[in-house]
Amino acid sequence: MSTKITLGIIGGGQLGSMLCQAAKKLDIKTIILCDDKEAPASNFSDDFIYSKYDDETNLIDFANRSDFITFEFENIPVNTLKKIQKIKPVYPDPEINSIVQNRFKEKNFINQHKVKTTNFKLIKSKNDLNEIDQLIPGILKTTTLGYDGKGQFVINSLNDLKNLKIDCEYILEKKINLKKEISNILTRYQDGKIAIYEPIENIHKDQILDQSKIPADTTDLIIDEAKKTSIVLAEKLKFIGTMCVEYFIDEQDNLLVNEIAPRVHNSGHLTINAYDVSQFEGHIRAVCNLEYKNPRKNFDATMKNIIGAEIDNYRSMNLTDKQFFFDYLKKETKPKRKMGHLTTIN
Ligand code: ADP
Ligand code: MG
C-alpha cells in the first residue's frame, strides 16, 4: 500500500495547477474538486472530481480520499468547508474565510489590530448614503464575491451614487492617490514558524494585476513595516499555509492594507523561478505538515500577466534562458481572463 500523502485541493484554476506541480515535486498526491469540467488543474492533478461545491456526497468522497484539504480561492461557501473539516483537517481554517470573504469584516479585523486601511463605510441601502463626503472620490465595492476589480464602481461625485441601485451590501471606500502598490507573501507552518518573502511591487491595469517585480522600488522603512504587519496579521488569524497581504502606499508614504488573500497569490508567481522554495511549495509544506524550509532568493525577477487574446503571441514566442512562460491551458480565451504569465529573472 502507498504511504504517500494525498492533498485535496478545492478549485481547479491556475493556482490549483501550480499547487499540483509543487506537490508532485514533494512526492505528494493531489486530488482536485472543481465545478468546472474543463478545469486547467485537471492536467496536473492525480485525481479529479467534477462537482458543485455544495454536493454533499461528492464532498464526503473527496474528504475521505484526502489526508489534508486546502483551496485555491477564498469564495467557497464556509459551510462547505466546515462540513469537510469534520472529516479531514482543512488549512487554512475556514473560520478565516468568513472574515476575509467579506470586505467589511476584513477591514474591521485589520483595524482592530491597529493596522491602517482606507477609510470606509458599510452601505446597505440608500439611507446609508449620508455623511459620506469624506469618502468621495471613492470606490464602491460589493462586500463579497469581488475579484480582479469585479463588483467595483468608481464614485467621483455624490451624483454618481444617486443613479446607482443599492441591491446588495457594499462598502464605500476612499479612493487613494496611489504612489505604489506592494504585496507581501508569507507561509506560516503548523508550529507557528513563518517563512516570509520580500515584498513585491505590483502594477495594475483596469484593476487587474499586470506586472509584479522584486525588488520593490520603495524605502527600507516601508519594506520592514510591511513585513512586520503581514506577520502580525498572519499570527492574529492563526493562519496555516501561504497567504498574501496587498498594500497601498499613498503619496505621503503611509502604508495601508488593501486586502488579505488567504491563499497563494498572483503576485507570487515569480517565486517559482526567483526562489528555491516557491509560494506553492511553501503552502504544500505547511498544510501537509512537512519540514519547514526558509525560502532563499536566487534572482530578482519580473512577472507579466498574459490577459485574453495576448496569449496567442506568447504561445509562439521564442524564449531566452531567463524567461519562463506558463500557459494555463484554459480551453476558452476571454477578454480580461488570465491566460498565462511570463516570468523573467535577472
Ligand atoms: P480585488 O478583490 O478585485 O483584487 P481590490 O480591492 O484589491 O479588489 O482592488 C483591485 C485594484 O483596484 C487595487 O489593486 C487597486 O489598484 C485599485 N483600488 C482598489 N481600491 C482602491 C482604493 N481605495 N484607492 C485606490 N485604488 C484602489
Ligand atoms: Mg486585490
* 135-170 confidence digits (pLDDT tens): 999 999 999 988 877 888 899 998 888 878 888 999
Same domain (yes/no): 140, 57: no
Same domain (yes/no): 276, 306: yes
The closest of 301, 247, 293, 241 to 272, measured between CA atoms, is 301
Smallest-distance ligand from the CA of 182: 1
Residue that terminates a domain, selected from 157, 174, 191 = 174
Q: Which three cell numbers stand for residue 309?
A: 487574446
**Is 207 a pocket residue for ligand 1 (Cβ < 6 Å)?**
yes
Tell me: pLDDT of 198 over 60.
Answer: yes
- CA 128/CA 137 separation, integer angstroms: 16
Give the strand pairing for 29-34 and 6-10.
parallel
Name every residue whose Cβ is closer than 8 Å to that of residue 269 and which is 6 or more positions away in sequence.
18, 212, 279, 303, 326, 341, 343
**Is 175 a pocket residue for ligand 1 (Cβ < 6 Å)?**
yes
Same domain (yes/no): 168, 192: no
Tell me: pLDDT of 181 over 90.
Answer: yes
Task: Compute the distance from residue 87 Cα to the ligand 2 centre, in Å.
Answer: 32
Query: What's the start-to-end Cα distance of the chain, in Å?
Result: 45
Tell me, what's the pLDDT at 259?
96
Tell me, what's the pLDDT at 27?
97
Tell me: pLDDT of 329 over 60.
Answer: yes
Specify if 102 maps to a domain. Answer: no
Tell me: pLDDT of 1 over 70.
Answer: no
Cβ–Cβ < 8 Å for 214, 274: yes
The closest of 217, 221, 220 to 201, measured between CA atoms, is 217
Tell me, what's the pLDDT at 164?
81
Same domain (yes/no): 33, 151: no
Q: Which of 106, 118, 152 to mutate to test the pocket of ligand 1 (most atoms within 8 A of CB)?
A: 152
CATH number for the domain including 133?
A: 3.30.1490.20
**Is 149 a pocket residue for ligand 1 (Cβ < 6 Å)?**
yes
Tell me, what's the pLDDT at 344?
98
Q: Which three cell numbers stand for residue 100?
A: 476575509
pTM of the model: 0.96
DSSP 3-state assignment of 97?
Answer: helix
What single-letter DSSP state applies at residue 297?
A: B
Same domain (yes/no): 189, 254: yes
Tell me: pLDDT of 32 over 60.
Answer: yes
Tell me: pLDDT of 97 over 90.
Answer: yes
Same domain (yes/no): 187, 166: no
Q: Whose CA is nearest to atom 13 of ligand 1?
A: 207
Question: Which residues span the domain enclosing 182?
Answer: 178-345
Same domain (yes/no): 66, 210: no
DSSP 3-state assignment of 263?
Answer: coil
Residue 220 has a CB neighbour count (10 Å cut-off) of: 7
Cβ–Cβ < 8 Å for 266, 204: no
**Is 139 a pocket residue for ligand 1 (Cβ < 6 Å)?**
yes
Q: Which of 110, 132, 139 to mutate to test the pocket of ligand 1 (most atoms within 8 A of CB)?
A: 139
Q: Whose CA is nearest to atom 15 of ligand 1?
A: 207
Average pLDDT in the chain = 96
